[in-house]
Amino acid sequence: MNVDGMPNINASVDALLNALDNTIPLVQEFLKDTSFPLEDRWALFLKSEKLLPSDTYGDGHVDALSRGDSLYDAFGVERRETTYYSDMDDMLHENSTPEDSEADEYSEKYDRMLEKRDEWREVVLQHGDGSFTYDW
């Protein structure tokens, strides 16, 4: 690499970091604004979650998902591992989708699971973080 190009790269990185610092609070504000549909806010969350802060494990909305199991047993989350909420959401969806043969008898239960998932998504959006580190 050309040493003459370094100041330009440094200036570009500084501008990018400054733009992120200014944009992340706006993203978090939108994610928390319940006047917009949950689907729209979740779509933005999926695009931006890797830019959002990461929390340390301990918030109740993560515990609620494990249903008394450890996070490793419930989701395969290792200690000191950073886990993105979208990955957990995908696992929730995969684990709650009925087989075609079970769809009729399962539909009411499935509808309740989707409602719970939407409630959990709302909690995640209100929390403002994109991930957590499982460090108990």
pLDDT in tens, the chain (136 residues): 455 656 788 889 999 999 999 999 999 999 999 999 999 999 999 999 999 988 876 555 565 565 556 666 666 777 787 888 888 888 776 665 555 545 555 566 656 667 788 888 998 899 889 988 877 6
The reported pLDDT for the residue numbered 7 is 72
What is the structure's pLDDT at 68? 57
Beta strand extents in 1-136 (DSSP E only): 54-56, 82-84, 131-133
Q: What's this model's pTM, rounded to 2 decimal places?
A: 0.74
Burial of 23-56, coded b for 16+ CB within 10 Å and e otherwise, reads ebeebbeebeeeeeeeeebbeebeebbeebeebe
CA gyration radius for the chain?
Answer: 19
Domain of residue 30: give its range.
Answer: 3-133
**What is the number of domains present in the chain?**
1
- How many whole angstroms separate alpha carbon 65 and alpha carbon 57? 13
